[in-house]
Protein backbone atom coordinates (compact mmCIF):
# COMPACT_ATOMS: atom_id res chain seq x y z
CA UNK A 1 0.00 0.00 0.00
CA UNK A 2 1.12 3.54 -0.73
CA UNK A 3 0.76 5.98 2.15
CA UNK A 4 1.13 9.65 1.23
CA UNK A 5 2.37 12.05 3.90
CA UNK A 6 1.35 15.55 2.95
CA UNK A 7 0.98 18.96 4.53
CA UNK A 8 2.28 22.50 4.39
CA UNK A 9 6.06 22.92 3.99
CA UNK A 10 7.71 22.77 7.43
CA UNK A 11 4.91 20.75 9.05
CA UNK A 12 7.20 17.75 9.54
CA UNK A 13 6.44 15.47 6.59
CA UNK A 14 9.98 14.19 6.05
CA UNK A 15 10.57 13.47 9.74
CA UNK A 16 7.27 11.61 10.11
CA UNK A 17 7.42 9.82 6.73
CA UNK A 18 10.90 8.38 7.37
CA UNK A 19 9.97 7.24 10.88
CA UNK A 20 6.68 5.73 9.72
CA UNK A 21 8.39 3.84 6.88
CA UNK A 22 10.90 2.45 9.36
CA UNK A 23 8.18 1.35 11.81
CA UNK A 24 6.11 -0.33 9.10
CA UNK A 25 9.09 -1.81 7.24
CA UNK A 26 8.01 0.12 4.13
CA UNK A 27 10.21 1.89 1.62
CA UNK A 28 10.52 5.66 1.84
CA UNK A 29 10.14 7.71 -1.35
CA UNK A 30 10.69 11.46 -1.59
CA UNK A 31 8.33 12.65 -4.32
CA UNK A 32 10.61 15.50 -5.38
CA UNK A 33 13.58 13.16 -5.79
CA UNK A 34 11.35 10.70 -7.63
CA UNK A 35 10.33 13.46 -10.07
CA UNK A 36 13.93 14.56 -10.62
CA UNK A 37 15.05 10.96 -11.18
CA UNK A 38 12.44 10.53 -13.89
CA UNK A 39 13.15 13.86 -15.54
CA UNK A 40 9.71 15.22 -14.67
CA UNK A 41 9.24 18.97 -14.26
CA UNK A 42 11.41 22.02 -14.67
CA UNK A 43 13.57 23.85 -12.19
CA UNK A 44 12.40 27.44 -11.65
CA UNK A 45 15.11 28.83 -9.40
CA UNK A 46 15.12 26.60 -6.32
CA UNK A 47 11.69 25.20 -7.04
CA UNK A 48 10.74 22.25 -9.16
CA UNK A 49 7.60 22.85 -11.19
CA UNK A 50 5.82 19.69 -12.25
CA UNK A 51 2.76 18.71 -14.24
CA UNK A 52 0.61 16.89 -11.68
CA UNK A 53 -0.85 14.52 -14.27
CA UNK A 54 2.58 13.55 -15.58
CA UNK A 55 3.90 12.93 -12.07
CA UNK A 56 0.79 10.89 -11.17
CA UNK A 57 1.28 8.81 -14.32
CA UNK A 58 4.84 7.91 -13.28
CA UNK A 59 3.81 7.19 -9.69
CA UNK A 60 1.12 4.81 -10.98
CA UNK A 61 3.54 3.17 -13.41
CA UNK A 62 6.59 2.86 -11.15
CA UNK A 63 5.28 2.62 -7.60
CA UNK A 64 1.84 1.02 -7.67
CA UNK A 65 1.58 -2.19 -5.69
CA UNK A 66 4.61 -1.46 -3.53
CA UNK A 67 4.54 -0.90 0.21
CA UNK A 68 5.90 2.59 0.65
CA UNK A 69 5.56 5.96 2.31
CA UNK A 70 5.48 8.82 -0.18
CA UNK A 71 6.74 12.12 1.20
CA UNK A 72 5.89 15.46 -0.37
CA UNK A 73 3.55 18.42 -0.39
CA UNK A 74 2.04 17.14 -3.66
CA UNK A 75 1.75 13.52 -2.52
CA UNK A 76 -1.96 13.97 -1.75
CA UNK A 77 -2.53 14.55 -5.47
CA UNK A 78 -1.01 11.19 -6.40
CA UNK A 79 -2.77 7.83 -6.86
CA UNK A 80 -2.23 6.47 -3.33
CA UNK A 81 -4.16 4.20 -0.96
CA UNK A 82 -4.05 6.38 2.14
CA UNK A 83 -3.39 10.07 2.63
CA UNK A 84 -2.15 11.47 5.91
CA UNK A 85 -2.33 15.25 6.13
CA UNK A 86 -0.12 16.60 8.88
CA UNK A 87 -1.25 19.83 10.51
CA UNK A 88 0.54 22.24 12.84
CA UNK A 89 -0.37 25.56 14.40
CA UNK A 90 0.40 28.11 11.62
CA UNK A 91 2.70 29.92 14.05
CA UNK A 92 4.90 26.81 14.20
CA UNK A 93 5.04 26.72 10.40
CA UNK A 94 6.01 30.41 10.43
CA UNK A 95 8.78 29.88 12.99
CA UNK A 96 10.23 26.81 11.25
CA UNK A 97 10.29 28.54 7.86
CA UNK A 98 11.84 31.66 9.41
CA UNK A 99 14.62 29.48 10.82
CA UNK A 100 15.15 28.04 7.36
CA UNK A 101 15.68 31.56 6.05
CA UNK A 102 12.59 31.67 3.81
CA UNK A 103 11.52 35.09 2.51
CA UNK A 104 8.68 36.97 4.24
CA UNK A 105 6.53 36.37 1.19
CA UNK A 106 7.13 32.60 1.21
CA UNK A 107 6.52 32.39 4.95
CA UNK A 108 3.27 34.30 4.61
CA UNK A 109 2.14 32.15 1.69
CA UNK A 110 2.72 28.92 3.60
CA UNK A 111 1.32 30.15 6.92
CA UNK A 112 -1.83 31.19 5.07
CA UNK A 113 -2.02 27.82 3.31
CA UNK A 114 -1.96 26.07 6.71
CA UNK A 115 -4.49 28.53 8.14
CA UNK A 116 -7.06 27.84 5.43
CA UNK A 117 -6.49 24.06 5.08
CA UNK A 118 -5.17 24.10 1.48
CA UNK A 119 -3.65 20.59 1.49
CA UNK A 120 -6.63 19.06 3.21
CA UNK A 121 -9.14 20.64 0.81
CA UNK A 122 -7.13 19.47 -2.19
CA UNK A 123 -6.84 15.97 -0.72
CA UNK A 124 -10.61 15.81 -0.22
CA UNK A 125 -11.07 16.20 -3.97
CA UNK A 126 -8.77 13.26 -4.66
CA UNK A 127 -9.35 10.55 -2.12
CA UNK A 128 -11.77 9.17 0.48
CA UNK A 129 -9.08 7.78 2.75
CA UNK A 130 -7.70 10.81 4.54
CA UNK A 131 -6.42 10.97 8.08
CA UNK A 132 -5.67 14.37 9.51
CA UNK A 133 -3.17 14.57 12.37
CA UNK A 134 -2.49 17.61 14.51
CA UNK A 135 1.23 17.54 15.30
CA UNK A 136 1.15 20.66 17.50
CA UNK A 137 2.90 20.04 20.83
CA UNK A 138 3.61 16.42 19.88
CA UNK A 139 6.92 14.70 19.27
CA UNK A 140 7.42 12.83 15.99
CA UNK A 141 7.19 9.57 17.97
CA UNK A 142 3.83 10.61 19.41
CA UNK A 143 2.61 11.42 15.89
CA UNK A 144 3.70 7.97 14.69
CA UNK A 145 1.95 6.28 17.63
CA UNK A 146 -1.25 8.15 16.78
CA UNK A 147 -1.06 7.07 13.13
CA UNK A 148 -0.31 3.43 13.99
CA UNK A 149 -3.10 3.39 16.54
CA UNK A 150 -5.60 4.58 13.92
CA UNK A 151 -4.31 2.00 11.42
CA UNK A 152 -4.73 -0.75 14.03
CA UNK A 153 -8.34 0.30 14.56
CA UNK A 154 -8.92 0.20 10.81
CA UNK A 155 -9.60 3.95 10.61
CA UNK A 156 -9.14 5.25 7.06
CA UNK A 157 -10.81 8.61 7.38
CA UNK A 158 -10.57 11.09 10.22
CA UNK A 159 -11.09 14.78 9.64
CA UNK A 160 -11.72 17.99 11.53
CA UNK A 161 -9.02 17.79 14.18
CA UNK A 162 -7.97 21.44 13.91
CA UNK A 163 -9.60 24.84 13.50
CA UNK A 164 -7.01 27.55 13.06
CA UNK A 165 -9.60 30.32 12.73
CA UNK A 166 -9.62 30.29 16.55
CA UNK A 167 -5.94 31.27 16.65
CA UNK A 168 -6.06 33.78 13.79
CA UNK A 169 -4.87 36.67 16.00
CA UNK A 170 -1.66 34.80 16.87
CA UNK A 171 -0.99 34.19 13.19
CA UNK A 172 -1.42 37.78 11.91
CA UNK A 173 2.27 38.74 12.45
CA UNK A 174 3.31 36.07 9.95
CA UNK A 175 0.90 37.19 7.25
CA UNK A 176 1.74 39.67 4.53
CA UNK A 177 -1.60 41.42 4.57
CA UNK A 178 -0.42 44.40 2.53
CA UNK A 179 -2.51 47.53 2.43
CA UNK A 180 -0.28 49.71 4.60
CA UNK A 181 -1.68 52.21 7.11
CA UNK A 182 -4.86 53.21 5.34
CA UNK A 183 -6.67 50.15 6.72
CA UNK A 184 -7.47 51.01 10.30
N1 LIG B 1 5.65 16.29 15.90
C2 LIG B 1 6.54 16.54 14.96
N3 LIG B 1 6.45 15.89 13.79
C4 LIG B 1 7.34 16.16 12.81
N5 LIG B 1 8.38 17.03 12.90
C6 LIG B 1 8.53 17.68 14.06
C7 LIG B 1 7.61 17.47 15.12
N8 LIG B 1 7.98 18.25 16.14
C9 LIG B 1 9.06 18.92 15.73
N10 LIG B 1 9.42 18.57 14.49
C11 LIG B 1 10.57 19.14 13.76
O12 LIG B 1 10.07 19.95 12.70
C13 LIG B 1 10.97 19.95 11.62
C14 LIG B 1 10.17 19.56 10.38
O15 LIG B 1 11.00 19.43 9.26
P16 LIG B 1 10.68 18.44 8.05
O17 LIG B 1 11.79 18.60 7.06
O18 LIG B 1 10.37 17.07 8.54
O19 LIG B 1 9.33 19.11 7.47
P20 LIG B 1 8.68 18.99 6.01
O21 LIG B 1 7.23 19.12 6.20
O22 LIG B 1 9.18 17.73 5.36
O23 LIG B 1 9.24 20.25 5.28
P24 LIG B 1 9.42 20.52 3.71
O25 LIG B 1 8.13 20.12 3.06
O26 LIG B 1 9.68 21.99 3.66
O27 LIG B 1 10.60 19.67 3.30
C28 LIG B 1 12.08 18.98 11.96
O29 LIG B 1 13.17 19.72 12.45
C30 LIG B 1 11.47 18.14 13.08
O31 LIG B 1 12.42 17.65 13.98
Contacting residues for 42 by C-beta, under 8 A, at least 6 apart: 48, 49
Distance CA 181, CA 49 (A): 36
Q: Please report the beta strands in 31-104, taking only residues with DSSP state E, as ranges in sequence order.
A: 42-44, 47-49, 68-71, 82-87
Please report which helix (H) or strand (E) contains residue 20, including its range: helix 13-24
Identify the pLDDT of residue 179.
56
Expressed in angstroms and rounded, the spacing between residue 48 Cα and the centre of ligand 1 is 20
pTM for this model (two decimals): 0.94
Q: Is 140 in the pocket of ligand 1 (CB under 6 A)?
A: yes
Q: Is 9 in the pocket of ligand 1 (CB under 6 A)?
A: yes
CA gyration radius, the chain: 17
Burial (0-12, 13-18, 19+ Cβ within 10 Å), 94: buried
Expressed in angstroms and rounded, the spacing between residue 140 Cα and the centre of ligand 1 is 8
Q: Say whether 65 counts as a known binding-site residue.
A: no
Q: Say whether 13 counts as a known binding-site residue.
A: yes
Q: Is 138 in the pocket of ligand 1 (CB under 6 A)?
A: yes
Q: Say whether 179 counts as a known binding-site residue.
A: no
What residue's CA is closest to ligand 1, atom 19? 12
Identify the pLDDT of residue 182.
44
Please report which helix (H) or strand (E) contains residue 140, including its range: helix 140-152
Segments of the chain with pLDDT less than 50: 181-184
Expressed in angstroms and rounded, the spacing between residue 12 Cα and the centre of ligand 1 is 3
Identify the pLDDT of residue 183.
43
Identify the pLDDT of residue 141.
97
Q: Is 16 in the pocket of ligand 1 (CB under 6 A)?
A: yes
Expressed in angstroms and rounded, the spacing between residue 113 Cα and the centre of ligand 1 is 16
Amino acid sequence: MIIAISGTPGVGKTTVAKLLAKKLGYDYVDLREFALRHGIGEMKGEELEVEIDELAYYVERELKGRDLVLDGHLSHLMPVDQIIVLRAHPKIIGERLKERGYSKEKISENVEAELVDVCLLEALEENESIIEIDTTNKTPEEVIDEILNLFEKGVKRRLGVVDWTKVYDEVIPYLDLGGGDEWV
